[in-house]
Structure 1
Amino acid sequence: MTHSTPPTEKLQKVLARAGLGSRREMEGVIAEGRIKVNGKVASLGDRIEMRDQVTLDDRPVGLRSVDDVPRRVIMYNKPEGELCTRKDPEGRRTVFDRLPRLKGERWIVIGRLDINTSGLLLFTTDGELANRLMHPSTEVEREYAVRVMGQVEKQHITAMTDGVMLDDGPARFTDVQEFGGEGINTWFHVVIMEGRNREVRRLWESQELTVSRLKRVRYGNIFLDKRVKLGEWVELNQDEVDDLSAMAGLPKRAVPALTPNEQKQWKRDRNKRQPVQGIRKAGSRSRR
């Protein structure tokens, strides 16, 4: 009689699925020596079984199978001046400060925006969904409304769509459309397939042009909802989550309904949000 070997998975993947953060964040936690597996300090590259005993800072971690992870997604309209980090040593506001609280889960940001960029951010409780949507191989379109200072010529657009060499490799826009305005206050909509640091700004800077306002308006097939005011969030419905799941190559999963206590908590969290100073509205494109 033969016995099959229990399946193993990468440690950071299992930790992300446990709701502790993204895979990248978990890689950092492992590198810091804060994770133990069966009493021994874990290392990057370790693989584990679901029956292993895992601790973070000597506190037990509840491991979960893929099917046990709830797949919630919320859309957040990020204001300028907020950081895409959980905590800031300088005490500056982060995008996580305004989100509804979860019990036994953790919001994971799908992609990031720099401190001076506003607009669409997606958060999920499903680490695998977040990882796949952020991975370059998935090739998810990100669309931005951009206000550019300087005289934009046809050759600038051609160069940025053909591709330019940045410090960290080649980059290009897959689409650039002028969207109104005059002189140094001209708005464009651009589409990019990656989420590298400040990539949109750096592409314009390669043409000696300056971005004075930058707002993400679309991630994949999810558009920034006009009903979501600056600094507010809304939970995506089943169809929208199914679309994201399909884009990530994951099977559909029912979005769990909020319990009555969760509904009350989310309502309190929404009402406690602090007002945000408004900014002039960027042009919006119709859904394609």
Structure 2
Amino acid sequence: MNERIQKLLADAGIASRREAERWIADGRITVNGVKAQLGDRASREDMVRVDGRTVKLAEAGRTRRVLAYNKPVGEVCTRTDPDGRATVFDHLPHTRGERWINVGRLDINTSGLLLFTTDGELANKLMHPSSGVDREYAVRVRGDVDEAMIARLKEGVLLDDGLARFTDVQFFDGEGQNKWFHVVLMEGKNREVRRLWESQGVEVSRLKRVRYGCIFMPANVPVGTWVELQQREVNDLADLVGLERKVRRRLVGKEKERFQRVQKRQKVRQTAQRRRRAAR
């Protein structure tokens, strides 16, 4: 069966659909030796190449993997950064014949839960506003917050790019000028949490994402490290956006050994972090 080229590449975890469309427009993709055009279709048996490298499509989309990463402040959500800043991809495990796709973004000054998957269709569904997947953030604000302000934030505020609102705002902790709240959004516009609070004359001093849909930030994952989600959690994400369940890909041989080495290095970083905190 022939499918859109961008869908095949997304299923293979090579790129998101939008990114694949840009590659097609830039002339980076060929099908059976012919440069692809937007709207072209291909089958899993066709010879598809990206920048001259063959993409294996026969098993594309048969499996899916998901990571939960605890992003620290200071990392950017790009694969490479022209300014040499650390990126969220720096410490992720390598994959064979596929790659990690980040589910949404967090700005450089925001920390917390960032999901990665090898399934481009799952990533696209989780990010798209039509899926109605909510995101929860813990936010520390500086300034006076009253019930009238909270009501305005829940009713909706007109920002530069349209109407935005929190679907829920709950006081969490703190007193005086510095208070923690948990807020919930149904979409992920650029810096939306910060801009909503700033529209009320309140400054956001810390921001951390603690939940994406049905996945909470695991308590046992220190900042700057990740954990691979189990089959049940991966199924929950698929069910959330109405996708077919798929099995996690089983690692074997050298790929399994490399994955275990990355896990070991991660544990070393976790130990170093604990020691630094204890020394403070």
Question: TM-score when scaled to structure 1?
Answer: 0.88
Q: What residue number does 1:196 align with?
A: 189
State the SS of the aligned residue for 1:95.
coil
State the SS of the aligned residue for 1:96.
coil
Which aligned pairs between 1:224-263 and structure 2 lie closer than 5 A? Answer: 224-259=217-252, 261-263=254-256
Partner letter of residue 100 of structure 2? W
Task: Specify which of 143, 162, 172 is matched with residue 136 of structure 2.
Answer: 143
Q: What residue number does 2:27 align with?
A: 33
Is this contact kept in 2: 1:139–1:193, CA < 8 A?
Answer: yes
Give distance in 2, aligned partners of 1:208 and 1:277. 36
State the SS of the aligned residue for 2:177.
helix
Does 2:85 align with 1:92? yes
Give distance in 1, aligned partners of 2:22 and 2:203. 34
Q: What residue number does 1:57 align with?
A: 51
Is this contact kept in 1: 2:104–2:188, CA < 8 A?
Answer: yes
Does 2:38 align with 1:44? yes
Is this contact kept in 2: 1:217–1:223, CA < 8 A?
Answer: yes
Q: CA RMSD in A?
A: 2.1
Give distance in 1, aligned partners of 2:177 and 2:256. 46
Give distance in 1, aligned partners of 2:59 and 2:250. 20
State the SS of the aligned residue for 1:179.
strand
Give distance in 2, aligned partners of 1:91 and 1:69. 36
State the SS of the aligned residue for 2:138.
strand
Give distance in 2, aligned partners of 1:260 and 1:185. 52
Does 2:201 align with 1:208? yes
Is this contact kept in 2: 1:148–1:209, CA < 8 A?
Answer: yes
Identity of aligned residues (%): 59
Displacement after TM superposition at 1:126 (Å):
1.0
Displacement after TM superposition at 1:212 (Å):
0.9
Is this contact kept in 1: 2:55–2:97, CA < 8 A?
Answer: no
* Alignment: residue pair count: 273
Does 2:99 align with 1:106? yes
Task: Specify which of 216, 229, 236 is matched with residue 223 of structure 1.
Answer: 216
Q: What residue number does 2:175 align with?
A: 182
Task: Specify which of 249, 265, 269 is matched with residue 262 of structure 2.
Answer: 269
Is this contact kept in 1: 2:48–2:55, CA < 8 A?
Answer: yes
Compared with structure 1, are the counterparts of its residues 223 and 40 closer, same or farther at alpha carbon in structure 2 (3 Å cutoff)?
same
State the SS of the aligned residue for 2:90.
helix
Q: What residue number does 2:117 align with?
A: 124
Partner letter of residue 23 of structure 1? R
Q: What residue number does 1:154 align with?
A: 147
Give distance in 2, aligned partners of 1:223 and 1:96. 20
Is this contact kept in 2: 1:232–1:270, CA < 8 A?
Answer: no
Give distance in 1, aligned partners of 2:37 and 2:174. 53
Task: Specify which of 18, 27, 31 is matched with residue 24 of structure 1.
Answer: 18
Q: What residue number does 1:14 align with?
A: 8
State the SS of the aligned residue for 2:89.
helix
Is this contact kept in 1: 2:12–2:118, CA < 8 A?
Answer: no
Displacement after TM superposition at 1:277 (Å):
6.6
Partner letter of residue 137 of structure 1? S
State the SS of the aligned residue for 2:112.
strand
**Structure 1 residues 34-43 or 199-208, which shifts more?**
34-43
Unaligned segments of structure 1, at least 5 residues: 1-6, 281-288
Partner letter of residue 116 of structure 1? N
Partner letter of residue 206 of structure 1? S
Is this contact kept in 2: 1:141–1:220, CA < 8 A?
Answer: yes
Is this contact kept in 2: 1:18–1:64, CA < 8 A?
Answer: no
Displacement after TM superposition at 1:86 (Å):
0.7
